[in-house]
Structure 1
Amino acid sequence: MSAGAFVRQQSKFRDRPEGGPERHHLYVALACPWSQRAAIVRAVTGLEIGISYAHPFRDERGWAFPGGRFADEINGFAFLQQGYDVTDPSFEGRVSVPVLWDKETGRIVNNESADIVVIFDEWTGGTLYPADKRAEIDELNGWIYEEFQNGVYRAGFSRSQEAYDEAFRGVFSALDRLEALLADRTYLAGDDITLADWRLLPTLLRFDAVYHTHFRCNGKRLIEFPNLLRYTRDLYAQPHVAETFALDEVKEHYYTTHDELNPKRIIPQGPLDLGFTA
């Protein structure tokens, strides 16, 4: 990896849940793509689990619940940091979402989105991560995450030209690879939607509005990839998916939280056409 490369913090809590969804609660911020993964799988599977939404603006105190729509009615946390402190008083890392919370033991079970979506799928019958497709789904998830989903962050938070150039090449190599894959497939693993699709979608939804400009991934826009755009439209039109995407929260979060990239906190008006909304 090049000098100056962005390195993502590893998730701290990776436990399996005890009991079913009724014992648990989900904390998310719809501004965050990793959170939206969990929100999408919850929505499309009809999983009955409570949910709390953090405010899109995050300062040095982390994800907040100032009230109204952004309230924590389970624990009354003002900041999600409180949940981390209760679970592990020695935790010193960055507070991240999503968080799967055990209401009975009063602690975080898991804060890794990749784990949480599998848990949700298992709770609802396992149709999104079938045994006969797991190897293919895992392979897809691996390179899509490394090159594209984490790649946009590596480009955005690079500390050197070399690191940025490396990340940029990876992002557009992955987009070209996805475009070619979807030339003769409806979804990533074939004719049926799987967890691979719901994991990828949040990054595609944010690409033109945020990553293209804010993270300097300006080689092409999503709307210039016809197969990917068709695919994004299809997934976005699935029942209950659109309600998990809050563009105003997404833009507020990225353009007001990363002062090193946008110190004036000016939120761009465009793009006016994302290509996948009706």
Structure 2
Amino acid sequence: MEHRTNVTEFIFVGLWENKQIELLFFFFFLLCCLAILMGNFIILLTITCSHLIQQPMYYFLCHLSLMDLGYTMTVIPRLLRDLVAARKNISYNSCMTQLFAAHLLAGVEIFILVSMAFDRYVAIVKPLHYMVIMNRERCSMLILVAWGLGFWHSVALLMVVVNLPFCGPNQVDHYFCDVKPLLKLVCKDIRIVNILMIANSGIVLIIVFLVLFASYIVILYHLRNHSSAGRRKALSTCSSHIMVVLLFFGPCIYVYLLPPDYENKDKEISVFYTVLSPLLNPLIYSLRNVEMKIAIQKVWSKIAYSKFH
């Protein structure tokens, strides 16, 4: 018998079912949201208003901040609304839109992180050819490729989900529309879909993570030939990248590599890449980077001076 989708809305279970805890965490996530907006806005303004925009590393960092802002706005506002709402509902179309947007922005972010690793590889392994290889045209091309791959990933995922029948249960055990909790509500055998989902998300994440891991091993190997001052500067930058990669990829691999019917803590773990990673990225890149700290001081001093004179 062919099942058809007759679900017009989904109801989120949310992170907690205790109203007092939800109200407490409403203020926590609200502060996180404001901190993400402020942190990434500072990075964007500092880079675009200083000489740093000319450097490939900061050009990529600018785009990474934009992805973090977009991803945050896709997930956190609805989470905040649901923490104080009596009914955590979302229409079918809004759910599919959120699913597409979240995977598009996360996919683009993944490939921007790859571009940043490639940039550091060229800077350390081929320093004499760095400005030729990492010219603005190539950097822009890498950003376009990141958008293309992110779009392909999210469209493929969306096409699978919209063609699945949801014909009864509509309670999503999560706080936003993601593919795994939605697959648990499908009313047909989805073993092949599970394999496709793991291939699209989980295996891609593993491959990209291994590529990034291998690139940083090569970078660290080549650093032995640098002076101690050059080594310290390169290690400071690379350690920031590695921290961001681990923060983002670790929880993502855990969530997307395991099949939907596997009992785990998906929604709790996903807080790491939906809230904590965008929150910590600006801190990691600004507090651990001397060049960034100097640029922030200059830009904001200039803004303060122009405001009062």
The TM-score range, normalised by the shorter chain, is under 0.3
The normalised TM-score by structure 1 is: 0.27
The normalised TM-score by structure 2 is: 0.25
More helix by share: 2
> Structure with the greater relative contact order (CA < 8 A, sep ≥ 6): 1 or 2?
2
